[in-house]
């Protein structure tokens, strides 16, 4: 099969049959079919019965489906529901925050980003840059360790200490630079400083020559759902109490407040 037809990528050449079968099964269950009769389900889905049983057990193990009761079949699990909720929430956050992030770029003349927590990482959902020059190397979809990134630190500061301890309990902590926390105790000590500030001020923690300021975005329930930041040359961030630094900090906090209000936070 040709990978390209008429200059365009032929998507079928990259399809993975086991993944497609798992997706078909999830869609089938999502439509209300409980797979009580495996022979019927196998025929309807055009999936070998043995393969179907293996798929069911794999999806059960990963929380994508749940057994209703011993003989009542299956329904979609919390894993699928969580993925869907995260997808919807991510789109909402970007849409609701875009205008304030664009305004933040104008006020600071620096790159601005929005990210969410995914495990112990921060995933960047959007990036806006000034027209003058490009400072940030972060792209949409980039991942950074939460404890070392300003956005991640902002979100961690709004989680309870117990939650943060649980997150990193069995996690090997590694710093992007020697300025980043190297263990759980250092993460917790840094968190206390960030909580006291009410924002994050970072110099050279991810990249030696880059500084950043970040704040948390809250949803209508007051839960920390994302963070935004600006990043620029380290020299701008060395003196946290300079006139320029105060302007940057207030612009970041204003953008976070506006984004939170757009998410329904009062």
Q: Where are the domains of the chain?
A: 4-76, 82-262
Dist. CA 71–CA 19, nearest whole Å: 26
pLDDT of res. 260:
95
The pLDDT tens digits for 85-128 are 677 666 688 888 999 999 999 999 999 999 999 999 999 999 99
Architecture of the structural domain at 82-262: 2-Layer Sandwich (3.30)
pLDDT of res. 266:
82
Number of residues written out for the chain: 266
User: Residues of the chain with pLDDT > 70: what percent?
Assistant: 90
The pLDDT tens digits for 186-234 are 999 999 999 999 999 999 998 889 999 999 999 989 999 999 999 999 9
Region for 181 from its dihedrals, namely left if φ exceeds 0, alpha if ψ lies in -120 to 50, beta otherwise:
beta
CA neighbor of 76 nearest in space, from 89, 87, 63, 86? 63
Q: Would the pLDDT of 27 be above 50? A: yes
Per-residue pLDDT averaged across 63-90, rounded? 83
Fold for domain 4-76? Arc Repressor Mutant, subunit A (1.10.10)
pLDDT of res. 2:
37
Per-residue pLDDT averaged across 238-263, rounded? 96
The pLDDT tens digits for 142-153 are 889 999 999 999
Q: Name 236's Cβ contacts closer than 8 Å, sequence gap at least 6.
A: 110, 211, 244, 245, 248
pLDDT band of residue 13 (cuts 50, 70, 90) is low
């Amino acid at each position: 099969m040709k990978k390209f037809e008429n200059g365009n990528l032929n998507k079928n050449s990259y399809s993975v049959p086991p993944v497609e079968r798992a997706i078909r099964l999830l869609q089938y269950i999502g439509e209300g079919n409980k797979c009580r009769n495996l022979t019927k389900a196998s025929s309807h889905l055009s999936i070998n019965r043995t393969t179907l049983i293996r798929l069911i057990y794999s999806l059960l193990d990963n929380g994508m489906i749940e057994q209703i009761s011993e003989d009542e079949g299956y329904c979609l699990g919390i894993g699928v529901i969580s993925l869907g909720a995260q997808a919807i929430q991510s789109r909402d956050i970007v849409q609701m925050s875009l205008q304030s992030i664009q305004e933040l770029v104008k006020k600071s003349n620096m790159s601005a980003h929005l990210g969410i927590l995914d495990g112990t990482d921060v995933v960047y959902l959007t990036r806006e840059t000034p027209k003058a020059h490009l400072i940030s190397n972060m792209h949409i979809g980039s991942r950074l360790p939460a404890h070392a990134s300003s956005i991640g630190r902002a979100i961690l500061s709004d989680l309870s200490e117990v939650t943060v301890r649980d997150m990193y309990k069995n996690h090997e902590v590694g710093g992007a630079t020697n300025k980043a926390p190297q263990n759980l105790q250092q993460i917790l000590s840094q968190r206390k400083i960030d909580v006291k500030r009410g924002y994050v001020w970072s110099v050279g923690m991810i990249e030696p020559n880059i500084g950043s300021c970040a704040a948390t975005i809250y949803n209508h329930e007051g839960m920390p759902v994302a963070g935004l930041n600006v990043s620029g040359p380290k020299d701008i961030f060395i003196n946290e109490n300079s006139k320029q630094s105060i302007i940057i900090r207030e612009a970041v906090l204003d953008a976070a407040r506006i984004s939170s209000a757009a998410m329904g936070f009062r």
